[in-house]
Structure formats: C-alpha cells, structure tokens
Structure 1
Amino acid sequence: MRGLAHARVRGGLGIVASCVVGAAAILAVNVLIMGLSLVASDFADAKGVGPEAEEVSRALTGQDGSYALSADVTQALRDHGCWALLIDAGGQVAWGLDVPADVPASYALADVASFSRWYLSDYPVSCWRYGAGLVVVGAPRYSVWKYSVSSSIKSLGATALLLPVVFLADLVVLVVLARLFARRSWRQRDNARNEWVAAVSHDVRTPLAVVVADASELAGSQRLDGPDRARAERIVAKSRETAELLSDLNTVNRLRYAMEPVDAREVHLAAVLRLVVAGFLDGGAGGCELELDVSPAAEDACLRGSEALLRRMVTNLVGNSIRHNPQGCHVRVSLDVRGGLLGTALGRRCVLTVSDDGRGFGAETLSTLRHRPGDELPEHGLGLVIVRRIAAAHGGRAGFANDERGGCSCTVELPIVARRA
C-alpha cells in the first residue's frame, strides 16, 4: 500500500533525524567530558606530582661549585618522594638531593637524549637547562606515565578526517538500534490495539444482533400503536448504524496496520458505481435523489486493487450524503478520466466525485479530513477517514470541500492501469 509506505518512510526519516540529533548530542557530551577530564587531570597533576625541573632550576643557586636549593622547594620535593640532581657540562653529577642509589653519577650525550625522552633507571624525570648544565627531577617509579608522541602533518590530517567517519559509523549503529527497538515497540503496540479492537467488536456484535432482531420483531408487531412502532424502527435503524460503525472501525484499523489485503485484480470502477447506486435505490435513499454520470472515457477505465474496498469507499461517500441530510438533497455521483502526461497513458487517473446540495461538512469534520492522518481515530467522520485510507492504499488520494452555494463534494483520484491483452 503506497499510503502506508509513505507513512513508514516518514517514520523512518523521523527516526534518522532523531538519531542525528542524538549522535551530535552524544559527541558534544563526549568532547565536553574529555575536556573536563583533561582539565581535572592537569589540576590533579599539579597537586599530586612534585615540583618540575623548571621550578627546581629557578630555586637552585650555586657559586664556586657549591649549590643550595631553597627550603620550600626542597620540602615540596620530599613531600612527594621526588629527588633532583644537576649534571654539569662534562656529564658528571655536580649536585644532588635524595638521589636513589641506582641512579648513575655520570652521563654521556646518548644517556641524556634517552632519559630526557623516556625514563632514567625506570624513574619518570623532567629536565631543564641550568647554565651550561642540566637539572633533572625524578618522581617515584610508576607514579607518572611518560611517552613522547610525534606525528606527521599528513597523519594529523588523516586523523581529522577519521573523526567524521567515526561519527557516521556511530550514527549508523544508533539508527539501526533505534529502528530495531522502534519496530519492536510498534509491533507490540499494533498487536495490542488490533486485539483490543477485535475483542470489542466481537463482544459488541453479538448483543447488538439480538437488539436488532428483537427490535425488528417489535416493529413488525401489530400489537404496537404507531408511536411505539416508530420507536422500535428507530432502534433498528440506530442499531444497524452502530453495526456499520463497528465495521468501519475494523476496516480503518486493518488499513492503518496493513492487515487489509489489496487484491491484485483489475476492477472496473464504473461497474462498482452502478452496483452501489442501485443498492441505495433499491434499499431506499431517504429523501435524497441519486444521479449517476459516467463519462464515455471512464466506461472502460480499469483500476488495480480490491473491489470490496472500492465498493466500501463509494458506499461510504454516498451514504455520508444521505445520512447527514435527512431533510433530503440531490446527490450526484460522477466518474471521469484525467489525461496522462503530455497526452499519453502515463499518469492517467480516474476522478470520482460525489457531491450534494445539502448542509455540507461541519468545520471540525472538514479540519480533520484536511489534516494528515495520524494514529488517533477521529471522533466524527470515521467513514470518510476510511475513504481517504482506501484511496491511499490504491495509490490515490481523496479531497473534501464545502460548496459556496451549499452542500459539499468529495473527490477521489485513482491511477488507471493498462488493460491486459
């Protein structure tokens, strides 16, 4: 059903849009969390790790080969279990504070290049220039992770391009998961609603049939006087109207959830119109006059779909005019063909119009019919909602309007299929 397919596409696009917003929000939250983590980490490092080599170098004074470190920096180093040393230009340790025994006393250029980048005897260290020498401050083993990372500009560019790819991959996963959960939720909801409608219809149909039978018997009884017999006839009429309403409810429910099959059969709409109009004339059209006008071009127009549903659609349209105009009106049913693209058969459509000169649609009913169909059933005009959904199920559309001169019209356009040889 094309109408149902459109509804599912709209639902799918809504899910995708929600997932895009959700993925963007998740990405923003992740970036924020990472930023806050880095700030918190730097703040914790500032308090949890002792003085760096730069601070020690500024606090270190020396003259004639004798060096002294300020008392506050010395205490800060010891409070954090750190040590410090000064390597002179010849690679020898010229000064030291609490230097562990396994730390060498002399260094070559290769040693300096190694520990300035990584570790010195497994101690994480920091280095800072002091005159011609080098101040080295070491922290306890396994207290600091230290690793120097470098990357080419090309690699950084590739990494920058990888971020959107990762974002799109996360988005795809999010869409798939959301779709799976949504389909499961929709299926459960649809099953629950279908079961509820079927149960209510079944439970009401049986006592309603009893009411119709008893009221019909009373209406035909000779023991009742005129007013009582008329009252019994009204009970029969309203009971049958309620039965039709239950049938409409079941039909609209099946169409909403694709439970009503559209038969892949060729249907002559002109024949369907004659059958429906004849049924109303035989069964009584109240005080209404019925007129049927089928153009020659529409006589052989063939649709592809369900004859039962199309008959129900036409019955609802004609019955709506009769039911809402008990004072009588003129109902005109017409069928014509609208030409295809550039005069070809491509896009040819049947145009069915049911109009009357009665009281027209109420403002609330017309507003409901002109809005996009939703999940909730309307309080009024259920039969016309079925008309719209049957038209959509056959790839067509239905329009409703009031006539300025009085009355209303319903126009249904349905695609014509090529006749099979």
Structure 2
Amino acid sequence: MKSLRKIITRSILLTAAIALLLVAINMAFTTNWMFKYSGSQPLKYAIADISDGLSSVDGTYTLNAAATTMMEEQYAWAMLISRDGQVIWDKNLPGDIPRHYTLTDVASFSRWYLNDYPVSVWEHPDGLLVLGDPKNSIWKYNITSTEDTIAHVPGLMTGFLILNVLSALVLALFLGLWLYHKLKPLYNGITALPKKEPLSLPTGGVTGEVSRILNETSVILSQQEQQLAHRDQARTEWIAGVSHDIRTPLSMVMGYASELESNSSLPATEQNQARIIRQQSQRIKSLISDLNLASKLEYHAQPMELARVSPAALIRGVAVDFINDGLPEPYSLSVDVPEEANGPILLCDQALIRRALTNLIDNSIRHNPRGCAIKLSVTKSTDGLVLKVSDNGKGYPPELIKNSGGLDESPLLGNHGLGLIIVRRIMKIHGGNIVFENLPQQGCATSLLFST
C-alpha cells in the first residue's frame, strides 16, 4: 500500500506542477505579448523628434535625415495641418486623405482613425503634425476606468494568481484521489498474484480492461499451480517408490557380493570382482539415497529436527567419522576451530548439516584423485557463523562459481552429481547461504553461512 500511496502522491504533485506550469506559461506569454506588441507602438519621444525635425525655410518645409529615418521606420505617411485646417506639408500622403480639415474633423481623428488609417498626432509650431499607419495595421480602442478600479488592479491580479494556484492544487488533489480510487483494486490484485490468491476485480470503468486481464491471469496461475503441485507430488512419490523397490534387491546383491568377497575358497580374481560389485552396489545405494533426499528437500518434504548444536563439536565429529572409516593415503583431513568459535551454539538439523559437510568432503576426494589436504573450519562472522570446507586441489570450474548463485542448479550438477545440489538445498531450508570460491594460491573452499 505504501507503493500505491507513493504513486498517488507523485501523481498529485505532478498534476499540481503541470497546472502551476501552465499558469506560469500563460502569465509569461501574456507579459511577453504585451511587451512585444505594445513596444511596436510609436513612442511619444519619437513623434516629438519627428516634429522637431520638420522645419520651414522661406515657406518651404523640409524633414531632416534623422527625422525622415524615424518616420519611415515607424509610419507610412505624414502631413502637417496649419492652424486654419489646410495641409501645408505632406509625405507619402495617400490619395484618399483630405487636404482641408475643420476643428471637428481634427477632434474626431486625433485619437482614433482618419479614413480607417490609424493616426498619431503631435503639436508643431506651425500647426498639427499627423503621422499615419497603413489600414488594418493597428487596433486602437479607448479604455476608461476610475481611479479606484486602477488602484485595485494589483490586488485583483494577486487574487487571480492565488485563485489559479488554489484551483490547480484542488484539481491535482481531485485527480489524485480519483486515480487512487481506480488504482487501489489493481494494486491489491497485483500484490495478491505472487501469493497465489484468487482475484475477482470489478471489470467496469476506466481500469476494467486491466482488471479483466488480471482476473484471467489469476485463473491461469491457479491452474498452473495446481498442475505443478500435482506433477511435483507425482514425481516425489515416483522417486520414493522407485527408491523403495530398488533397495531390497540391491541389499541382496550387496549381501551375496560380500559373502563372495570373503570366501577364501574363491580365486583372488573372483574375490576382487565380488568386491567391485559390492562397492558399485553401495554407490548405487548412495545415489538412490541422494536422489530421494534431493527430491524431499526441493519440495520441503524432508522433516526438520532442529536442535541446539555446537558447530565445533559438529565438524570434529564429521572429521572423526571420515578418519575412522579409513581415509585413503593421498588425502589428509584437519580441523581448525579458533577459541572464540567454541562457544556459539547453532540451531539446525544436525543430521542434515553433517550430510552437507560429508558431501563437500566427498566432493574434494572425488575430484582430486591424486590427493589433497582437506580442512574443516568454523569461524564467527558479523551476523552469524561460517562452516567451511576447503582443499588445495584443482578447484571448482569457473562456470560453477559464476552461476552458483542463480536459480538454475544445473551448474552445480555437472560432473559433481547431486552432492552440491543437496548441500545448497540443505542450506536453503535452514535459511542460510552457500558460497563457492577458488582460493588464490590453490584449491577451493565452500562456505556455509548461518545467521544466528
């Protein structure tokens, strides 16, 4: 639910930011428009400069160069009306402009238009200077307002801005709540999918199509879950049944092979063959046991018998068992338990942890036929204990170390059999972790990490 709230909060903030941005853009656009187009209007000082540049010599009027440039840049035509209403000077004067005006005519066009030409006027010593623009080029409209209204304009603008901001925030809040109401069922449905819970979301409204897809996905996942559970149950039962059916005839083969091996009346060659049969039968029995245990561990069918165990005593017991069973000559087995590691107690299934350590030692022996030095150790870590099995043999293949942390267990299978897979699954049901590494000098190490 926190994720949904975060999404809704961000949506509200984003909507508010967009609304405020639109307000700012509108204000900037309006301000720019006002400055741009108001700036194109003739300036009073420019009209005055043009008027000052118009002079008369012996009754002939002349517009100097500077005034001519200003006039041509800002206006289309100009004329000077004398005090008796007669046009006494003009420049680029259109043909439809009269050349004589009464006082009423002057009062009419001085602030607006003359024959649809926008005009501006300025006082000249000899009369009235009229500057005109082309038709339909300037819109002139008189706006009259009281002093009180003008005095309230800043407050009105501020209030308008505040109203826009509040409207944007209210809109953002409304959209956020609406979005929250629509997305909440979808969020609950999505979070329920990994839990394999059935969904029945309403399929109406804006999110109806997504809800329908989630409902269908829930049905498909439920069916797949049932199929997988049925398949896994069948496989587990099949493995357990095969293991049980093979165990009896295999025990008989091992028993007869043991009798033949110890029969002194047989030639040495036949006794050796009987020994090989017994050893290989024992290996088959171990493989069947590994397969059955791996299957139970994968589907959590292996019962856990948790007990408080001393890890130091545990690894010493495993080492003693190997030595008592007759460790081959090229191999050596040592135990390293520092003083601080004697105290901690580990809550675990002792038989399974012994099996994990045994598998790791067997793996070192199997993959180093010329012998190696194997060491069992226990150390304290920052958040638990580490049981480690290391050797100075040829080490692990690089692909095993690279891919051992993923979900795919095939790199652990390789030519290592089920031993490493069983170790990993034992650590998984204990809530621990396993790390495979090659040592810098020579050999490899496997660390079993327990949290305490």
TM-score normalised by the chain length of structure 2: 0.51
Q: How many residues align?
A: 254
What is the aligned counterpart of 1:277 among 311, 314, 319?
A: 319
Is 1:186 aligned with 2:228? yes
Q: CA offset at residue 360 of structure 1?
A: 2.9
Task: List per-residue Cα deviations over 1:18-70 (Å, max 9, x = no partner).
Answer: xxxxxxxxxxxxxxxxxxxxxxxxxxxxxxxxxxxxxxxxxxxxxxxxxxxxx
- Distance in 2, matches of 1:352 and 1:365, equals 20
Give the Cα–Cα distance (whole angstroms) in 1 for the partners of residues 400 and 276 of structure 2.
25
- Matched AA of 2:211: A
The 1-side partners of 2:306 and 2:321 are apart by 25
Name the structure 1 match of 2:387. Answer: 352
Alpha-carbon offset, residue 176 of structure 1:
2.9
1:372 aligned partner: 407
State yes or no: 1:407 paired with 2:449.
Answer: no
Deviation at 1:221, TM superposition (A): 1.7
3-state SS of paired residue (1:409): strand
Alignment of 1:233-248 (within 5 A): 233-248=275-290
- In structure 2, the CA distance between the partners of 1:358 and 1:375, relative to structure 1 (3 Å rule), is closer
Identity %: 34
| 2:250 matched residue in structure 1 | 208
Q: Report the Cα distance in structure 1 between the residues aligned to 2:255 and 2:351, rounded to whole angstroms.
A: 26
More deviation in 251-260 or 233-242? 233-242
Q: Secondary structure at the match of 1:414?
A: strand
- State the distance in 2 between where 1:306 and 1:284 align: 26
Q: For 1:333 and 1:248, locate their aligned partners in 2 and report how far apart those are by CA, in whole Å.
A: 22
Instruction: Within 5 Å, give how 1:2-401 maps onto structure 2.
Output: 163-287=205-329, 288-339=331-382, 348-362=383-397, 369=404, 371-374=406-409, 378=413, 380-381=415-416, 382-401=418-437
Q: 1:164 to 1:262 in 2, by over 3 A?
A: farther
Q: CA deviation at 1:371?
A: 4.1
**2:427/2:434 contact within 8 Å kept:** yes
Q: Deviations over 1:113-159 (max 9, x none)?
A: xxxxxxxxxxxxxxxxxxxxxxxxxxxxxxxxxxxxxxxxx9xx979
Gaps of 5+ in 1: 1-153, 340-347, 417-421
Show the counterpart of 2:105: none
3-state DSSP of counterpart to 1:401: strand
Distance change (3 Å), C-alpha of 1:264 and 1:174 = farther
The alignment partner of 2:413 has SS state of coil
1:275 aligned counterpart, secondary structure: helix
2:146: which partner in 1?
Answer: none
| Structure 2 segments unaligned to the other structure (5+ residues) | 1-173, 183-203
Aligned to 2:378, the other structure's residue is in SS state strand
Amino acid aligned to 2:244: H
- The worse-fitting range, judged by mean Cα deviation, of 196-205 and 384-393 is 196-205
CA RMSD of aligned residues (A): 3.0
d(CA) in 2 for partners of 1:336, 1:380: 30
Do the aligned partners of 1:267 and 1:302 also contact (CA within 8 Å) in 2? Answer: yes
Compute the displacement of 1:415 (Å). 1.2
Instruction: State the alpha-carbon separation in 1 of the partners of residues 427 and 215 from structure 2.
Output: 37
Which amino acid counterpart does residue 256 of structure 1 have in structure 2?
Answer: E
Of structures 1 and 2, the one scoring higher in RCO (CA 8 A, sep 6+) is: 1
* Deviations 1:85-133, CA, capped at 9 Å, x for gaps: xxxxxxxxxxxxxxxxxxxxxxxxxxxxxxxxxxxxxxxxxxxxxxxxx
User: Would the aligned equivalents of 1:303 and 1:415 in 2 still touch at CA under 8 Å?
Assistant: no
Report the residue type matching 2:346 in the other structure.
L
Return the index of the structure with the highest Cα Rg. 2
* Cα distance in structure 2, aligned partners of 1:368 and 1:224: 51
**SS of match in other structure, 1:332:** strand
